[in-house]
A = this chain, B = another copy of it.
């Protein structure tokens, strides 16, 4: 094996497990497509994950879903998660104050990934989203914010990198880039996404994201999600933006201070 070249079947099984987690459950054909492997290979990978107990078949259906055992693959990270330790109390308070769910997301590779959320602590949500859930960059408030606050070179590199993603339509990418007003986002200190599409209830929610800084550097996006039929985007901005900025500033302050040190 070449130095640094991954073991193919391991990478493929990771892709399969991520896809199953992302969608909640998938059929074998869907797993094959999502992880870009031939059907017989997907069958073997699924058999291995079943054998390890990480996934199970839904009763009476040819669909596969994660089991509780997947948490043995991820629990080791959490006890040194400074971002979440600082943010968690604040976003719990914020959800109590505004009612809507709040999430914290960072950019990982070419997507945004949730680091924490309060979806499970409010009734004002259609679905619950947990740390690990991912979102596209150009179609989410947090992604646009992250892109806007990136260094110019990093943004160009990232847009170039995204154009290489096999599932991305280049025409779409060009129009999404054209619609991204970096200057305006940086000046206003927020980004929005009308009718979120890339979640489990497409078109039913919209969102507003504000930045969290760590020693002046952009660290994460804090996003409030709300129902499209509850209020218009402009009304949401008028009503909530000041509050969101205030809470994000408090989190930034905690992150930059010595609060987390022993």
Complex interface: chain B residues within 8 A of A5 (CB): 47, 51
The residue in chain B whose Cβ has the minimal distance to the Cβ of A54 is B14
Kindly identify, within residues 114 to 137 of chain A, every residue whose CB is under 8 Å from any CB belonging to chain B: 114-115, 120, 127-134
Kindly identify, within residues 1 to 35 of chain A, every residue whose CB is under 8 Å from any CB belonging to chain B: 1, 3-7, 9-11, 13-14, 17-18, 20-24
Kindly identify, within residues 40 to 61 of chain A, every residue whose CB is under 8 Å from any CB belonging to chain B: 44-45, 47-49, 51-54
Segment at the B interface, from A69-77, A155-163, A174-182: A69-77
Query: How often does this chain occur in the complex, in copies?
Result: 2
Complex interface: chain B residues within 8 A of A114 (CB): 71, 75
* A113 close to B (CB within 8 Å): yes
The residue in chain B whose Cβ has the minimal distance to the Cβ of A15 is B52
Q: Does B21 lie within 8 Å of A79, measured CB to CB?
A: no
Q: Does A22 lie within 8 Å of B76, measured CB to CB?
A: yes
Q: Does B79 lie within 8 Å of A24, measured CB to CB?
A: yes
Q: Does A78 lie within 8 Å of B130, measured CB to CB?
A: yes
Nearest-Cβ distance from residue A81 to partner chain B, whole angstroms: 7
* A108 close to B (CB within 8 Å): yes
* A242 close to B (CB within 8 Å): no
A interface bracket (residues with beta carbon within 8 Å of B): 35 or more
* A109 close to B (CB within 8 Å): yes
* A66 close to B (CB within 8 Å): yes
The residue in chain B whose Cβ has the minimal distance to the Cβ of A1 is B44
A4 to B49, CA, bound (A): 10
Q: Does A47 lie within 8 Å of B77, measured CB to CB?
A: no
28 contacts between A and B (CB under 8 A): A5-B47, A6-B48, A7-B44, A7-B45, A11-B51, A11-B52, A14-B52, A14-B73, A18-B72, A21-B74, A24-B76, A24-B79, A24-B80, A53-B109, A65-B76, A66-B77, A68-B77, A68-B106, A68-B108, A68-B131, A70-B74, A71-B113, A71-B115, A71-B130, A73-B74, A75-B132, A76-B132, A79-B127
